[in-house]
Amino acid sequence: MIISIEGQLIYRITLSCVIEAYGVGYEIFTPLTIKLPSIGEIVRLWIYAIYREDSQVLYGFNEIEERNFFKLVIEKVQGIGPKTAQAMLSKFPLDELNQFIAMKNASILASIPGVGKKTAEKIILELYNKVGSKNSDMKYNVENVEYSDAILGLTVLGYKRSEAEMMIVQAIKRMPNASADQLIKDALTVR
């Protein structure tokens, strides 16, 4: 089983790259959030390999935690395949995905291509005890008054709820103890 590949980056496009290691070129599918060096430089990726009767498909990640999350999603959440799991990690960094699961925020997860509301709820149900509960001590969640008020403020200004939630999550990362007004100002300033 292939766990990691280190070699020279010889080609890259939006959702894949080719790494040459010991004279063999490996096509590796990657999320949009991956950080790759320039062509010709050495790179090491953590790999999740899917073996089928007629093919072998490799998915690559910068961090082993991303690989483990990818594996967890496709093995534990019925109806989620590698392309949807890749889309999840393409849309959001891993720490944000874990936060959304901890917040039990199905509306943000449903904004991922290939993930509807029912699938988002299934993700939360299956993964909360595995990743979400580790993040449950966060200073914000859907019951937090400042968080809720800030979301409401942005939706009144015309933002979609899922977009407002993402903006406020980012604002809280920058200002964890801020009031709702401060969160709104920060979210609008950084936007």
Q: Are the beta carbons of 8 and 31 closer than 8 angstroms?
A: no
Fold adopted by 145-190? Helicase, Ruva Protein; domain 3 (1.10.8)
Q: In terms of C-beta distances under 8 Å and separation of at least 24 residues, what long-range contacts does 77-81 make, across chains too? A: 77/119, 77/122, 77/123, 77/126, 77/127, 78/122, 78/126, 79/119, 79/122, 80/115, 80/119, 80/122, 80/123
Tell me the pTM. 0.71
Which residue shows structure tokens 């509960």? 133
Portions of the chain given CATH number 1.10.150.20:
65-135
Tens digit of pLDDT for each residue in 37-51? Answer: 999 999 999 999 999
Portions of the chain given CATH number 2.40.50.140:
4-61
The yes/no answer on whether domain 4-61 falls in CATH 3.40.50.720 is: no
Portions of the chain given CATH number 1.10.8.10:
145-190
* CATH classification (class only), 65-135: mainly alpha
Backbone angles phi, psi at 82, to 5 degrees: -60, -35
SS3 54: coil
pLDDT attached to residue 138: 46
Contact residues for 39 (Cβ-Cβ < 8 A; gap 6+): 9, 10, 11, 12
Q: Are the beta carbons of 12 and 18 closer than 8 angstroms?
A: yes
Average pLDDT, the chain: 86
Radius of gyration (C-alpha) of the chain in whole angstroms? 19
pLDDT attached to residue 105: 85
Bridge partners (DSSP) of residue 60 are 47
Stretch 66-84: mean pLDDT, rounded? 92
User: How many other C-beta atoms can be found within 10 angstroms of the C-beta atom of residue 170?
Assistant: 16
